[in-house]
Amino acid sequence: MTRRQSRRRPREVGVDERQTVVVCRGGDCGNRTKHPGVDHRDQLRRISGEVDITRARVVSSGCLDACEHSNVVVVVPGSAGRARGAAPVWVGGVLDEACTGDLVEWVDAGGAAVADAPVLVDLHAFHPTRLNRHELEEELGR
């Protein structure tokens, strides 16, 4: 190993290798009128602050057009989950500390196809429409 190679920093986990946690904040998601008892800013801060950045990146979305399921969080699998055939997991009704906490723990454990979904995540998961999937792809730039 040359001197130059030994000074290189360890390779960081690339965005493609990590999961992406998309937190919807448009439409009814993040709406104080629809969900007055939820501190939406704190929820986004909590998810962003508690998710292990080596496992996932957290992004907020303008609107995923799944307002009937607000608050919506989508966990897009990283390369490990995709290699096992995982698809994005859409979770609706993320409105309390327990559901938010279970979601964060699941993402940190590896998420879809890597770790079993906690009960609250499993109960709140839903199948998105074609329009919902299209909105997600646009948000992620795919």
Could you give phi then psi for residue 54, rounded to 5 degrees?
A: -80, -15
CA distance 55 to 108: 6
pLDDT tens-place string over residues 75-117:
999 988 889 999 999 999 999 999 999 999 999 999 998 899 9
Q: What is the pLDDT, as a whole number, of residue 17?
A: 86
Burial, 70: exposed, middle or buried (Cβ in 10 Å; 0-12, 13-18, 19+)? buried
CATH superfamily of the domain spanning 17-140: Glutaredoxin (3.40.30.10)
Give dist(CA 13, CA 19) in Å, integer.
11
pTM for this predicted structure: 0.85
Are the C-beta atoms of 43 and 72 separated by less than 8 Å?
A: no
Per DSSP (E only), the strands in 38-120 are 56-61, 73-76, 89-91
Tens of pLDDT, residues 116-140: 999 999 999 999 999 999 999 988 8
Spell out the domain ranges in the chain: 17-140
Q: How deeply is 1 buried, as exposed, middle or buried, from its count of CB atoms within 10 A (0-12, 13-18, 19+)? A: exposed
